[in-house]
Amino acid sequence: MMRFIRSALVIARRDFSATVLSKAFIFFLLAPLFPLLMGGVFGGIGARVATQTERPVVAVIATQADMNRLAAARDRMAQAIGDEALVRIVGFPPEPDLAAQQKHLLASRQPPVRAVLSGGLSHPHLTGALGGDPATIAQLKLLIANARSTELALPPDVEVTNVPLSSGSMIRDRAVTAQIGEMLLFFLTILLSGMLLSQLIEEKSNKIIEVIAAAVPIDAMFVGKLFAMLAASVLGIIVWISAGAVIIQFMKHGGVATLPPPAVGWSGFLILSIVYFAMNYLLLGSVFLTIGAQASTVREVQTLSMPVTFAQVLIFGFAAAAIGNPDSTEGLAAAIFPLSSPMAMLARAAERPESRRDPVADDLGRADPSNRRPAVSQDRAEIGPTGALVAVRSSLGDRFPRHLRELCHQRAMREWTMADSRHAGIGPDFLVRSTGEGNHVQR
């Protein structure tokens, strides 16, 4: 056994030195810059395309007074949910032949028209290609409801006290952390396993492998190679984390202390990241080494490794499905299944503390000095009529997957702020008539 370990160490030391002391390792360390660069470039292109492309609108055939009220209602909604997310409306004065005007507008290309709203605020009627877009119809209902009401034109005053954290923002930030952590883990593992495979093939083609195979057990060689690349990649991760922390410290106001912490805290999360990365890499690296042992040419390696890479992408998707819902059946399955477990567990560490108190939740709990109860979870908080955080509802509790509860919660919040309090939850009804494809679809 000692000889096995000593042999593995000899191989590992050689591979580690050869990897870390090479010029290529500098490029490896710079690797995270390339996705950022690519993201920036393609993001910029995407944004430019988005701004240059005319967005379809809903043409409103209405009197000037109705149009003004609708526009004012839209401005208020835009403040709440953002202009980009809201349907755009353009007013047109009514003409004697309504059907001809509708037809003309639906054929218009400047601007492209999705649908035509006629009948004013009293008898709204929507004509257009909206079959697959219930959100636009719902938005128009809210707009009309808001425009009809004079009382809601003046929104209530809500006294706002800013706190650095809330359960809602915390959950969202943690889900983002979990998602980024899983993606990094996946891509880094794939990248390193590929590098490991290349090294093995290089040695086979260099015939060095015969010298090694004659001197040490072949298993020791594989173990040595596996751990050498692990050590090199852990070194890379430490460099990346350190560099990232330094950049954030200098570039972001407040530095790293302002980063939203994952459920287990940053220190615990970083340690677990390295541990789970090691597990994931050792599992996948072993598979790739097995492929390398079977193949003798780069072409054979590519043929053999392609199904494994696809399988790994599926496993990544499986693990990613558990983000936001770690206690669901799929979340637990992803955590138990060995090949997805490291990624799922990393996401779990970001989202859900199991064995220790949640430091952020503790802080939230302490913010309520009257009862020092633990932090409220997102879906148990409600805003009362006075705008204060007053009620903790437990009925939804843990019975539904959280992403479903979030949808219900968000919809309720949107409608509550927009709808007339006298007709709470009831929007205006109008007949929707589909005209098939609009010109925006053709475009």
User: What is the Cα–Cα distance from 340 to 24, expressed in whole angstroms?
Assistant: 30
User: 211 or 311, CB closer to another protein?
Assistant: 211
d(CA 432, CA 130): 8
Residue number with CB closer to another protein (185 or 220): 220
Do 20 and 13 meet the contact criterion of CB atoms below 8 Å apart?
no
In whole angstroms, give the CA distance from residue 34 to residue 27: 10
Between 24 and 257, CB nearer to another protein:
24
By the criterion CB under 8 A, which residues form the site for another protein? Answer: 3, 6-7, 10, 14, 18, 22, 203, 206-217
Which residue's CB is nearer to another protein, number 6 or number 403? 6
Q: How far is the CB of 222 from another protein (least distance, A)?
A: 15
Cβ 12 to another protein shortest distance, Å: 12
Beta carbon of residue 203, minimum distance to another protein (angstroms, whole number): 8
Write down the least CB distance from residue 287 to another protein, Å. Answer: 24
Name 391's bridge partners. Answer: 382
Contact call for residues 347 and 326 (beta carbons, < 8 A): yes
Closest separation in Å from C-beta 288 to another protein: 21
Q: Cα-Cα-Cα-Cα dihedral of 352, 356, 362, 365, to 10°?
A: 80
Cα–chain center distance at 4: 45
Nearer to another protein, 20 or 432 (CB): 20
Query: In terms of CB distance, is 214 or 424 closer to another protein?
Result: 214
Is 372 in a helix, a strand, or coil?
coil
Closest CA to 91 of 59, 120, 139, 47: 59
Instruction: Give least dist CB 301 to another protein, A.
Output: 19
Q: Which is nearer to another protein, 217 or 268 (CB)?
A: 217
Could you tell me which of 195, 182, 209 has the C-alpha nearest to residue 323? 182
Helix (H, G, I), strand (E, B) or coil at 113: strand
DSSP strand pairing (125-128 vs 113-118): antiparallel
Backbone φ and ψ for 348, nearest 5 degrees, come out as -65, -40
Nearest to 230 by CA among 195, 182, 296, 282: 282
| Nearest-angstrom CA–CA distance, 301 and 251 | 43
Q: Which is nearer to another protein, 86 or 220 (CB)?
A: 220
Closest separation in Å from C-beta 219 to another protein? 11
What minimum distance in Å lies between the beta carbon of 21 and another protein? 9
In this structure, what are the phi and psi dihedrals at residue 383, rounded to the nearest 5 degrees?
Answer: -100, 125
CB of 178 to another protein, least distance (A): 40
Collapsed DSSP state (helix, strand, coil) of residue 159: coil
Peptide bond before 369: cis, by omega within 30 degrees of 0? no
Nearer to another protein, 17 or 421 (CB): 17
